[in-house]
Structure formats: structure tokens, C-alpha cells
Amino acid sequence: MTMKTLATAALAGLLASGPALAELVIPDLSYRTGPYGANGTPFSDGYQDYFALLNARDGGIGGETIRINECETAYNTEKGVECYEATKGDAPLVYQPLSTGITYQLIPKVAADQIPMHTLGYGRTSAAAGETFPWVFNYPATYWDAASVAVNYLLSENGDDLSGKTIALIYHNSAYGKEPIRTLEELSEKHGFTLTQLPVDPPGQEQKSQWLQIRRDRPDYVIMWGWGVQNQVAIQEAANVGYPMDQFIGNWWAGAEPDVMAAGMAADGYKSLNMNRIQNYPVLDEIRAQVIDAGNGAGDGSNVGTVLYIRGMYTAMLAAEAIAKAQELAGSPQITAAQMRDGMEALEITNARMAELGMEGIGPEFTVSCENHSGSGEGLVQQWNAAEQVWVPLTDFIAPDKSVIDPLIAEDAAAYAAENGITPGCL
Amino acid sequence: MSADFLYMIEVVINGLMAGVLYALVALGFVLIYKASGIFNYAQGVMALFGALTLVGIMEGQVPFAHIINATFGTDLHQFGWTVPALLAILLTVGVMILLAWMVHTFVFRHLVGQEPIILFMATIGLAYFLEGIGDLMWGSDIKTLDVGIPQGGSLWVENLSSGLGGEDFYGFFIDKLDITASVVAILLVAGLIAFAQYTKQGRAMRAVADDHQAALSVGISLNFIWVLVWSLAGMVALVAGIMWGAKSGVQFSLSLIALKALPVLMLGGFTSIPGAIVGGLIIGVGEKLFEYTIGPMIGGATENWFAYVLALLFLVFRPQGLFGERIIERV
Amino acid sequence: MLYREAGDFKTTYAADSQTFPIRSDRWRYFAVLAIAWGVIPFVIDDYWANAILVPFLIYSIAAIGLNILTGYCGQVSLGTGGFMAVGAYSVYKLMTMFPEVSIVVHVILAGGITALVGTAFGLPSLRIKGFYLAVATLAAQFFLVWLFNKVGWFYNYSASGQISAPERFVAGVAVTGANTAPWAQYLICLAFVTVCAIVARNLTRGSVGRKWMAIRDMDIAAEIIGVNPLTAKLSAFAVSSFFIGISGALFFAVYLGAVEVGEAFGIQKSFLVLFMCIIGGLGSIFGSFAGAAFLVLLPVALKVLGVDLLGWPSSTVAHLQLVAVGALIMFFLIKEPHGLAQLWRVTKEKLRLWPFPY
Amino acid sequence: MKDQVEPHVTADGRRIGGVLMDLRGITLRFGGVEAIKNISFDIREGEIRAIIGPNGAGKSSMLNVISGFYHPQDGEVWFRGAKRPAMKPFQVARLGIARTFQNIALFDGMSVLDNIMTGRLTHMKTGLLSQMVWAGPAAREEAENRAVVERIIDFLEIQAIRKTPVGRLPYGLKKRVELARALAAEPKLLLLDEPMAGMNVEEKEDMSRFILDVNDEFGTTIALIEHDMGVVMDLSDRVVVMDYGRKIGDGTPAEIRANQEVIDAYLGVAHD
């Protein structure tokens, strides 16, 4: 009997059941409360509903049913650690914390415990260097990719010339928001645009000063690295000061329905990055029919098809594909966390496979390797249509400027390796 | 006039507008503190709770839908009607009064005579409680609150003033929502003062604020007065919640506006209504001006701490606050 | 006669002013120490270390620190989170600047640096009192968080502004970093807790403690009988911040391993530690432990009860948890405003008379 | 009336020494109100000196000036033959001036013993670091001072309530504990602000006995404010009478009894 079960017994006077074998256990460190609960809920719903669909439709993956182990973190790092410790005894296959803060806590822990972690488009960018971070994956793209994709999009809008332009970065004043700064600085040097930085203290209720400054300086473009209420207020304030929405681009965590709904029609034309194309995929109908209507949905179904829901579902699909790959490599339907890692490192996502899964074109094609844990790094630009209340993809997937990002990743990974005494190498 | 100078003035005007909203939140604190000595940390959560309730009523949401559905296996979400804004506001005021009664009856009536810090802690407990209840009742997703307040920069002001500066000056930017909020706040304060001056209950309220014992001895019911001030504070919170909620949507972060009111209270004093108003204006202008002028030099995002540091420095040199009298200590 | 003090005579003043003057209390104290040092390290696992015991021990240090300031010296502070951040960033800078020096030294130095910062922010307490001071300490909270977020030197210019604790050893055993065994994490925290608790107890039973309590109970009278309010208040700020700095250093280096200042040391942390002091009992070292245990265990217990045993959706449990924590806080304050420590004292008084209450 | 008494021994065998404290031309204003108007008097070593006067006469303000809590706008305070510079109250306490308060100012959160121990603070010197380890100097100092305090506890007959929190004590005992706390400082000058206010006859008798014993056994100089004229006349060697911030009389109890201005003030004859 583990101490965890002892704790349970002591606290409640009852014995908890031990982990059931012959199941694929996926912990979901979700947050449905707290300042970011409105963002965490649809993501988690999508993540869980996809696994529920696999259970209902295919009997799991490779004949093994999937069990979700949800744990509420409230976007709080301490609760995240508690959740990790509480769930890791259950033979989990992959962690997915949806919080850059929690990711940083877990990076050393998952390496020590040998459990893979997937941080899709968030977390520590340099974890793309798989030789230094063998247990951490951040495919299909990283923050630095996002910054570069945004700049590449602007380049294409301006005939490949941004010299003399000004770009303002308005960011969440936290680890998450500061991530793109270094890349954008490099890119501003390379392309000759001026970068101004406007930090917003979380949660970001008050942004009057920042937007008055934008109104006065009239930068050519505003890029936003926001999360939670900051996004809503920023879009509202941008509308208030009359900043043109089509010159305002959020990253992929600042481009979901809750962000634009509060501003109503004023948000029309706002752009954001996304690593997923938003459209009505056949798989969504299957989820509605076999999961939601069967009463097995993680939420009430109202989120199905929203940006963050689709991203959660996409994340689940990537995990499911990695499980299938791992089963194939291991030659058995039951896999361990280490085998899961091998599956993730050998993951290959093709257009054909996505179409087969009923989500054609949802993400870029990419392969993962030991040297590259971040996939292709591609992202697209989408635009909010306030009248129809839909996000409309504007572009196809745009490739980032790897010549700028790769040296930065190598440098940061080397610093981490040196600080922590890691000898980089493939497992 | 140079454009730089005009932009400075614009920042000051916007600071004043923000200050009015801070003052509004601070006012809720002052009302309760004056009458009962309770430093009500839950004021911010009350604003959130009020706004959530208002949206819920307007949209005909079923309260506690999640729990009901989870317990009985039903699929309730909406009553299927919508309520006009004005009626919904009135109904919400009713809910706030009920809340005030419950808060007093179940909590603070049992804590009369306790040390201030104990009362303060109890209000933090209340804040947690209300936050959880609000989420359980109405769900934790972001809600849009639209009671018909106009938003966006006032073009009239912008056009009128754009001639003042040169090429680089685009005219003053003043948000219509801020104008509305200022007008509502001023009306509310005027109403409160009138209530306190000219009604029987208002006079009783002031008597209690002055001296509990004396008020008791002339036959004023303390319980009634305390429920009354909690109700008034609830209504002030509701107004603050509506103004803020219209801007950023109704959601958890709304409760953090309490933190904006604390430096205002330090500056203006916990017991002074004019102090709350003037303090709010000073804080609003001060933090915006600092962020605008000094902020870019030291990396920005200074507003959170600057208000506190300003209030702190002020108090170090004038411990009695803005309107307090010089304290003569006795033994 | 489960609990007795009769027949327990003191023959010296020293024996009379010891920490546990009653024999059965003393035995219980030694038993707790023996279990904490001799049993738990052998049975502890990752879950108990990371979810319960290590945070409990670290919060106990912070609560003792804040209790010295608020409970003993009467100065309400809401700057605890900021001061913990000072401890965390100090230990990070020391660890990366002087990797050859022992982490134990670094943690103590981090406490010392925090003491200096705390003293500086304690200066306004000479002019500002009560809630005004409490709100004023929020200036420290917000300013310090902003500073550590803004100035790259503090986080060694890392891309995201996060700091991560490198691996460090005590007597050849890793105590920070990913490969730390749960018992090692636990023991280093326990060592600091034991020393801190003894030091706090020594300070509060002697003349320094009496100065603090005199200031707390009636500052004017205290000054007139010869207490220098400047040194008394500043020493309370210094000692309190020293403990809080140590807890912040351990919180970062041993417990979380990586922190982001705004998230880990925000205003919520200040409130949490203040809660621990008040629920445990102001002016009581035992109360600091009780409060820390209560607030660390309560959410975990509610979660285990709601999610694992009753099978409710985790979001509903999380909301109910807020409701339950809030309701319990109010309930406790109504039933026993002086905290768990007072509850314990009352229970002991009843036990002393048991089974003959008259 | 300005006496130039030489050091002498009183009829009951107590030694009255030279001038311990000399107040010269003290004037104290709050805003525009003059609480004390140009008052001078002295206190001699070993004597019991009373300050009397109607309510609002400025007696407590006078005591607050002596204990350094109020700073007079005009005038000089001489203590032990030297002019006392402007000082903070705690510095005055360290000179050896202790006091009790009109409205008891005990530390309610502490036990009787701890309260009295606070009186020893001016004598306790060990630093923070030494106290942290509680071995050697700190523990030794604690035990030594505890011994002093225990003597005072015995002297004032409050052994039984040693460990009781002061908040639970009745009024009369609180007054006694406060006296104990002041005595624990072993002061050169002890100021008592209405030590018998609110007491019944028996308690007053007890308190009077304690005051006389303190003066007698420890030779402590005492300045006290009291309303009960009987007590004042019995206890004190010399009396200062104040009215509306002015000094209207100064002398032995017999002289004061005969002073017409004092009689007028107490009978409420109109001033103008």
C-alpha cells in the first residue's frame, strides 16, 4: 500500500482502490477555477472528450481503454505539483499541464521520474532540444516559433520588408509573456523594425496607460502575448482607442472565443495565430453523437468546436497517435511511460492521417526526432468574424525562421545543461 | 500647445476617470468600516458576485445548474427567458440585500466586539465563500455584461479637442464608459450623502458610526443598521461590478479590484467618504501619470505597486491621512 | 487523570521558564520529535513529501516568522509573499554565484538578506499603525514582485524570467534538484524547522519577546516603561523576515525547484500565511504549526474526499473547496477567535479536570 | 513658600535628601490650549510628593511631562543635578523614572509574571543572538531578574496570581500588578497616577500601606496624583496644588490646608 492510499485512508477512513492494470492512464492537470478557469475549461473538455470518443468508438487504443485522471490545479504551481505527485503513482503515460509555470516545476521532475510531458505550444521553448530535455516535448510549435510566424506573416503582408515599421509587443508580465521578447529582438535587428515593449501586470484589468501610449505612438502593428482577462480588456481597449483590429495580432493563447466575445462587434477583424485550423471537422460530430449525447462529456457540450476545445482535442489526438506509435514499437498494447516517450519521439503526423481521423488539415504535418522535440513550428493566422461569431483561417500554415530560433534554442538548452549538469544525448 | 503636453493632460483626465471607479470601490469599504469597524476584504468579491447575479438573471440562467444536473441527472441550463436590464438590476439589488442580511445574521452578529483583525479575517473567509458560491451558482465561464452602457472613445471630445495641438495630436481620448461611470459614481455618492443626511435611517446610520453605545441608548437597532450598511455596500459593489464588468466581461478577476481600492483607503482614511473620493482621484492620476512618464524608463507595469508606494510615502509624512485630524495620543 | 500538572514542582526559575513546564507535555514533545526524526524519514514517499509534509514544514517556518511580527509584536503584515520572494531570489543568486559553498549557508544568508529588506520595509511601522500598516506592507509585496520580475540580474537573464534551482548536496546527498529523494527534502526542511522553532521559542520567552508583546498590547505604555519602539519593532521585522526568507528559500530550492515570482509569491501567499497564523493562533508557536497543518491538509483532504471518494467532477469540487475553506474560516473565527492553539489549551484545561470537572 | 529645605530625617525616621528632580517654568500647549502654565516645583530624594487639583487642572499632563511623553514648549526639567535634554519616553525610563497609569496600562495578553518582568527590561542587556540560543548570558540574566521580580511579588503579596493572564484579574489587583511592574524597574523616581482611583476603603488602605512601605524599605522617591484628600494629606511629605494649569499652592500638607486659594479652588469659587 502506498503512502497515497494511506493518506486517503487516514483522511476519509476508507481505502482507495489501487491502480487498475490494463488501462492507459492519462492525467489531465486541468483548471476550471481561478483567474484562468474560463480558458482551462474548454481545453480540458476537448482533451477528455477525444479520449472518451476513442473509448466509445474504438474501445480505446489498440484494445486498451483509456482512463482520464483529472486533477484541478487552478493554474497554481503548488497545486500543480501536488496533482503531479498525486497522479504519478498511477502509471501515467504523459503529462500535459497547460501552464508554463507548472511546466517549469515539472521539467526536472519528469526527467527524474521518467515520465514524458507534452507542452503543446507553451512551456519552455528550449525543450525543443530533445538531447537536453529527453522527457519534454513541445510539438507542433513553440513560443519562439509563434513570434517568428507572426513576423513572417507581417513580412508577407508588407512585401517582405518591415524596415522602418514599428511593432509594439503588449505582454502578460510573467514567464509566459516574456518568452517571445528575445526572439522578437533578434528579428527586429534582422528585419529592421522597431520593437516597443508594453508589459501588463496580470491579471490585466487595467490597461488604459498602455493603450493610451499605443494611441499616441500609433505603431504599425501590435502583437499580444496575453492570457485570461488581459485579452478581453486589451481587445476592448484597442477598440476604444480606435486601433485598427486587422493590425492587432494575438498569439495562439490570445485568440479564442472568450477573448473576443466581451468586446462584441468591436472585436471584428482581430487577428490571432493558431496552430490549429478552426473548422467544423467530422470528428466533432462524432464527439457530439457518441460522447456528449451519451452523457459522457467532460463538460455540457457547449464548448464543442471552440478554439480551445479544438486545441484540447488536437492535443489528445497527438497523445493518442503517440500511444499507437508506442504500442507499435513496443509490440504490445500495454505500454510504460518510457515506451510512451519513445512513441512520442517517433511521432509522425501526416495530412493523410489527420484526414483519416476526421480532422483534415487541423494542424501542420510534422515529425518528431530526438534532436527536435518541437515539430515543424508552423502556425497560421486567423481572423475573428464578429457577426458570424467564428474564427476564419486567413492563411495556410506559415513556417518560422528557424535560422534565428535554432541558435537561440541551442544557447538556452546549453545553459540549462550546464547549470544542471546534464550531458546532452539521445536516450 | 505642444502635443506632449496635451497627451499629458489626456493621461491626467483618464487618471481622474479611473480614480472615480477606484473611489467607488473604496466607498463600499468606508461604509462598512465606519458603521461596524469591519475592514471588508470581500468588497471586491461582492462586486463579482453582484455582476454574476445580474448577468445570470438577465440571461435566465438556472442557478446551481451544475450541481442540480450532477445530482439529479437533469440537463437544466436556461429558464428560456431574458429579463430586461433595469428589472434585472432591481432583482439583483434584492439579492444583494438578502446577502447582506445573511452575512450579518450568520457571521458578523456572532463576532460583535471581536478584535479588528479577527473581523478582517472573517471577511477574507467570506470572500472565499462568495467566490465559490458565485462559481457554483452561475458557472466560471466569462460572461458578457451588456446593460446598454456606451463604450469606446468619445468622438465628440476627440474632434473638439484635436485642434488644440499640432499634427501629432489626435485629440483627447475619453472613453464613454468612463464618462458614464463617473456620472453614475457622482450620482451614487450624492444619493448616499442625501440618504445619510435627510432620512431617518441615514441619521441612525451616522449615529452608529459616531458611537455605538450612544446610538443604542437612544433606541437605534444596531442589527438593522448593520444589515443596512452591508446592503448599501452591496449596491455600491454591484455598481462597481457593472462598470468594470462592462469593460472586461464578468469573471473571476473582477474580484481583484478590491486591491485597487486599498491604497485609496490608506490615503483617504478608512472612515472618510470625501477621503475615499479625493484619494481615488489622486491614486488614479498618480499611477497613470507615473506609468506614462517614468514607467517606460524602468520597464513599465508599475501601476500595481505605485499606488501603494504613493500612499505609503504620504502616510509616513502625514499619518492621519488626507482628512484626518492630528492625533493627540493619551495615556 | 490523563493529563496532570499536580505534583510537578519546580525548584529553579530556569525550570519554571522552560518551554514545556508540564511533564506530560514535555514527553509528548519529545515523542513528536522522535517520530519526526526517527520514523517519518524511513516511510516517506514522493506524494507525502511533495504534497503534504514539505509544504507543511516550509509554511510552518513562514507562519512562525509572521507570527513573531503579527502575533507577538502586533504589526499586521501582508508582505509575506514579497519577503519569501526575497529569500528565494537571494538563495538562487547565491547558489549560482558561489556554487562551492554549502546550500545550508546559502539558505541562512538568504534569511539574513531578507531580514535586511524586511527591516527597511518595517521602517514605516514607526509612523503607521494597524490596518494602515497592513495595507502599507502591500507596497512591499507588489514592489518586490515587480522588481524580481523586471530586473534581469535577479533571474540571471533567463529567457522567461523563471529561476530553477540547480542540484546541490548536503553531506553527499542531493537536497535540491530533480534527483532529490523525498526523505532528503523532508529532512533538510525538518532541520530548519526544528532550529527555527527553538530559536523562535527562545526569543519569545525572554526579554526580546516581552518587548514585542509589550508593543503589541499597548505601545504607548511600552515606550514609557522603557521599550524603544524603534528597535523593538525593527527587531521583530528583522527576525520575522529572517524566518520568512528561510522559508522562501526552501520553498524555491527544495520544494518547487523552479518558480516564477508573480505566481509563486503573489498576494495570495501573503494571505495564506496570515491565515495560518490566525487560524492557528496569534502569539503561539504551536499555533503556527497547527495553522500550517490545517491549511495544507484541508484542500488535500477535501479533494481526496470529493474527487477520489465521492467521484464528483473536479471543477465542482474545486468550487466547493473554496466554499468549504471560506465557511470553515468563518466558523472557526466565530467558535474560537483565538485559534487552534487556544482550542488546544481549553481542551487541556478540561482534560486536567477530567473526569471530575468540579 | 518656596522652601529651601536641607536634607533631613523625618519624624518617622525616613531620610529626605537633596533635590532629585527640578521642574523650572514648564509650559505645555496643545494647539492653542495651554494645559500647563509656567509651573515650577521640585521633588526631593526620598520624599513622597503629591500633585493635587480639580479635574482638568493639568496634573496628568504634568506627569506626562516628567515621564517624557509630552514635550513642554517652555521650561526645563532638571534630573539629578543636570538639565535633561529632550528625550523620548523610553530614554527617560532608562534614567530611572517609572510610573503607573490612571487608566491601567497593563499588557493584557501577558501573564502577571511577564508583565512585571517587562519592568526589568531597562536592566536586561543580552542581545538577540544570545537569546536565540538561550544558554549562558541570556538564561543567567533571565534567572537573576526573575529573582528580583519574585522579591517584589512577595512584597506586594501577589504570589498566587503569578501565572494568571492579567486580563482576568479584578481591578484592585491590576493596580497592584501595575505598581509591581513599576517597582521592578527599581526606579529612582516613581510616578503614580491616581493609584487609588476607583478603590474601596480597604483596597485604599492596602495601597497606602504599599506606597509607604515602598518609600520606607527601598527609599524610593514617589510623586503621586490623587483625588482623595485624606489619603494625600496622610501620605505625602509635600503637596503641589494645580488649577487650570497654574500652580496655586506648594508646601506641607498643613500649609496647604491653610492656603486660601486652594480652598477657593476646591470649593469652586469663580476665577477671573
Q: What three-state secondary structure class fits C20?
A: coil
Q: How far is CA A52 from the centre of its chain?
A: 20
Binary contact (B328, D30; C-beta < 8 A) = yes
Sequence-distant (6+) residues with CB within 8 A of B323 are B268, B269, B272, B274, B275, B278
Q: Mean pLDDT of all residues in chain A?
A: 89
Q: How far is CA D260 from the centre of its chain?
A: 28
Judged by a CB distance cut-off of 8 A, whether residue C226 touches chain D is yes
Residue B198 burial (CB count, 10 A): 9
The Cα–Cα gap between A347 and A342 comes to: 9
Tell me which chain C residues have a C-beta less than 8 angstroms from the C-beta of B45: none
In one-letter notation, the amino acid at residue C355 is P
Residue C322 burial (CB count, 10 A): 24
Query: All 3 cell numbers of residue A317?
Result: 489526438
Closest by alpha carbon to D36, among D44, D45, D46, D25?
A: D25
Ordered DSSP codes for A145-168: HHHHHHHHHHHHHTTT--TT-EEE
Binary contact (C213, D108; C-beta < 8 A) = no
All partners of chain B with 3 or more CB pairs under 8 angstroms: A, C, D
Closest by alpha carbon to D112, among D155, D151, D149?
A: D149
pLDDT at B54: 94
Q: Which residues of A222-256 are buried (b: 16+ CB within 10 A; e: fewer)?
A: bbbbbbbbbbbbbbbbbbbbebebebbbbbbbbbb
Closest by alpha carbon to B230, among B15, B14, B40?
A: B40
CATH number at residue D56: 3.40.50.300
pLDDT at B328: 66
The Cα–Cα gap between A27 and A85 comes to: 11
Judged by a CB distance cut-off of 8 A, whether residue A91 touches chain C is no
Number of domains chain C contains: 1
Helix/strand/coil percent split, chain B, to 5: 70, 0, 25
Sequence-distant (6+) residues with CB within 8 A of D234 are D208
pLDDT at A14: 33
Helix/strand/coil percent split, chain D, to 5: 40, 25, 35
Does C302 map to a domain?
no
In the sheet that D48-52 helps form, which strands lie side by side, from edge to edge?
D97-99, D189-193, D221-225, D48-52, D238-243, D246-251
Q: What three-state secondary structure class fits A184?
A: helix
Q: Which residue of C has its CA nearest to A104?
A: C258
Nearest CA distance, C218 vs chain A (angstrom) = 39
Number of H helices, E strands in chain C: 17, 4
Query: All 3 cell numbers of residue D210?
Result: 504599599
Query: All 3 cell numbers of residue C92?
Result: 538562487
Does D24 map to a domain?
yes
Q: How far is CA A146 from the centre of its chain?
A: 11
Total beta-carbon pairs less than 8 A apart between chain B and chain D: 7
Same topology between domain A22-141+279-377+407-420 and domain A143-274:
yes
Compare D9 and C285 and report the one with higher pLDDT. C285
In chain C, what's the furthest Cα-to-Cα distance?
Answer: 69
Q: What is the pLDDT of residues D94-134, one digit of tens each?
A: 999 999 998 889 999 899 999 999 999 999 988 888 888 88
Judged by a CB distance cut-off of 8 A, whether residue A181 touches chain B is no
pLDDT at A248: 96
- Residue D211: half-sphere exposure toward Cβ, Cα within 13 Å: 33
Query: All 3 cell numbers of residue A313?
Result: 482535442
pLDDT exceeds 80 at position B97: yes
Binary contact (A201, B303; C-beta < 8 A) = yes
pLDDT exceeds 50 at position A12: no
Chain C (71-110) residues lying within 8 Å, Cβ to Cβ, of chain A: 96
Q: How far is CA A344 from the centre of its chain?
A: 16
Tell me which chain D residues have a C-beta less than 8 angstroms from the C-beta of C222: 107, 118
Ordered DSSP codes for B178-197: HHHHHHHHHHHHHHHHHHHH
The Cα–Cα gap between C300 and C55 comes to: 12
Radius of gyration of chain B (CA): 21
Nearest CA distance, C230 vs chain D (angstrom) = 10
Domain span including residue D252: 1-87+223-272
Distances (CA, A) of A287 to A30, A291, A384: 20, 5, 25
Distances (CA, A) of D28 to A129, B330, D20, D41, D211: 78, 14, 22, 15, 29
Closest by alpha carbon to A171, among A120, A261, A213, A234?
A: A234
Q: Mean pLDDT of all residues in chain C?
A: 89
Task: Find residue D251's DSSP bridge partners.
Answer: D239
Total number of residues shown for chain B: 331
Q: Which of A8, A105, A125 sits opposite C308 (nearest CB)?
A: A8
Ordered DSSP codes for D103-163: S----TTSBHHHHHHHTTGGG----HHHHHHT-THHHHHHHHHHHHHHHHHHHTT-GGGTT
Sequence-distant (6+) residues with CB within 8 A of B87 are none
pLDDT at A28: 94
pLDDT exceeds 50 at position A10: no
Q: What is the pLDDT of residues A366-409, one digit of tens each?
A: 999 999 999 999 999 999 999 999 999 999 999 999 999 999 99
Does D197 map to a domain?
no
Class of domain A22-141+279-377+407-420: alpha beta
Number of domains chain D contains: 1
pLDDT exceeds 80 at position C250: yes
In one-letter notation, the amino acid at residue C109 is L
Report the C-alpha dihedral over residues A82, A83, A88, A92, rounded to 10 degrees. Answer: -170
Does C339 map to a domain?
no
When pLDDT is cut at 50, 70 and 90, the band that residue A152 belongs to is very high
Report DSSP state, residue A203. Answer: T
Query: All 3 cell numbers of residue D37?
Result: 502654565
Q: What three-state secondary structure class fits D86?
A: coil
When pLDDT is cut at 50, 70 and 90, the band that residue C305 belongs to is confident
The Cα–Cα gap between D182 and D109 comes to: 18
Q: What is the mean pLDDT of residues A149-160?
A: 95
- CB C333 within 8 Å of CB B125: yes
Touching status, chains A and D (3+ beta-carbon pairs under 8 Å)? no
The Cα–Cα gap between C155 and C160 comes to: 9
Q: Which of B141, B295, B300 sits opposite A38 (nearest CB)?
A: B141
Are β-strands A23-30 and A65-72 bridged in parallel, bridged antiparallel, or unpaired? parallel
Q: What is the pLDDT of residues D131-179, one digit of tens each?
A: 888 878 888 999 999 999 999 999 999 999 988 899 889 998 999 999 9
The Cα–Cα gap between C93 and C155 comes to: 8
Ordered DSSP codes for A393-416: E-S--B---HHHHHHHHHHHHHHH
- CB B66 within 8 Å of CB B141: no
- CB A304 within 8 Å of CB A292: yes
The Cα–Cα gap between D26 and D38 comes to: 5
Q: What is the pLDDT of residues C34-52, one digit of tens each?
A: 999 999 999 998 888 988 9
Q: What is the pLDDT of residues D40-88, one digit of tens each?
A: 999 999 999 999 988 888 899 999 999 999 999 999 999 998 999 989 9
**Considering chain B, what percentage of its residues have pLDDT values greater than 70?**
97
CATH of segment(s) A143-274: 3.40.50.2300
When pLDDT is cut at 50, 70 and 90, the band that residue A130 belongs to is very high
Q: Mean pLDDT of all residues in chain B?
A: 86
Q: What angle do CA D122, D124, D128 make, to 5 degrees?
A: 120
Q: Where are the alpha helices (DSSP H) in A77-122?
A: 77-87, 100-113
A16 φ/ψ sector (left φ>0, alpha ψ -120 to 50, else beta): beta
Q: Which residues of C251-282 are buried (b: 16+ CB within 10 A; e: fewer)?
A: bbbbbbbbbbbbbbbbbebbbbbbbbbbbbbb
In one-letter notation, the amino acid at residue A265 is M
Q: Which residue of B has its CA nearest to A201?
A: B301
Query: All 3 cell numbers of residue C337?
Result: 477567535
Binary contact (B135, A33; C-beta < 8 A) = yes
- CB C49 within 8 Å of CB C253: no
pLDDT at D2: 42
When pLDDT is cut at 50, 70 and 90, the band that residue A24 belongs to is very high
Does D54 map to a domain?
yes
Q: Which residues of D171-202 are buried (b: 16+ CB within 10 A; e: fewer)?
A: ebbbbbbbbbbbbbbbbbbbbbbbbbbebeee
Q: Best mutation site among C141, C142, C216, C336 for testing chain B: the one with the most B CBs within 10 Å?
A: C142
**Least-confidence region, from A137-146, B70-79, B206-215:** B70-79
pLDDT at C1: 44
Does D251 map to a domain?
yes
Q: What is the pLDDT of residues B285-311, one digit of tens each?
A: 999 899 888 888 888 888 888 999 999
Does C318 map to a domain?
no
The Cα–Cα gap between C99 and C106 comes to: 10
Binary contact (C166, A419; C-beta < 8 A) = yes
Tell me which chain C residues have a C-beta less than 8 angstroms from the C-beta of B329: 220
In chain A, what's the furthest Cα-to-Cα distance?
Answer: 69
Domain boundary assignment for chain A: 22-141+279-377+407-420, 143-274
- CB B50 within 8 Å of CB B90: no
